[in-house]
Structure 1
């Protein structure tokens, strides 16, 4: 009998890491955000010394901001930003909350993210910026909002080596976007200070 008891303990002990991951504070926090359980989210954020606000899902890399943008929840977005969520947090594909707002057609969230110091020129792993994606979506409202937020029309992606201005010039289906980008001033690149050789 004692050997069966020890065997049962070993089997139970081997299962603990998987269940511990499921029950981690990070998992519980992100699940509460997904389920819009405001009391649980607030409790997690108000724990002394809590740094959970910018936790990322282990499988997707999504943070709380990614989750609330996907469900078009501007109120929750403002709440999480006020609590210190990083507006430039990237998921596993390199997408920021601003890029996700563009992908889901939520121009109204661009200014909310910009006010929270989101960088409109952070690209995903393919080098696509929010402005490039807005041009590809043929969304003039989004293009206008992004240009007003400081998006660089000349920043190139990695795959094709094209900028938002280049994509607009190649796509003749939306002349308004082409005109907006033609009228946009060239971004001034700041000089990099370093030793003189």
Structure 2
């Protein structure tokens, strides 16, 4: 195997890091929307166009999550986050911090290659394998290979009056899909 290629298929030193998805979370006027595209890529080949990378979790479905990275790794992290939410109901921040601690210190979890965006009715966070639990200042999160494109578009659109969080997410995801070859226009939306 070429030593300049990471297991995710991304070259080492690649600033984007995760190829294969775009996840966007937009918070506006008391509503939060998370959107994710459906494309799954292996290298330069599209193997699936309608994957569901955004879903509701938690006992009452009161948390929405999206993931970028290796699918099996992401599902492992989603399961772990759900168990933390069971232990700390209605405490998303605490559940995220507890997951981040485990992710950073557990030998098995440390090897997982994924990023997560999670939100409830009040707060949004990005979780990383470095132990980060990051809350955006402006209520907008973008992760994945097209995340920065969607993030930039959403930040521009958020200043437009009378446009909902869901409409911002839809428009921004379309812009990301038009730019990022690892992102398609098959978008799944969940809102709270």
The structure with the greater share of residues assigned to strand is: 2
Pairwise TM-score range, normalised by the shorter structure: under 0.3
Bigger radius of gyration among the two: 1
Higher relative contact order (CA 8 A, sep 6+): 2
Q: Normalising by structure 2, report the TM-score.
A: 0.23
> Higher helix proportion, which one?
1
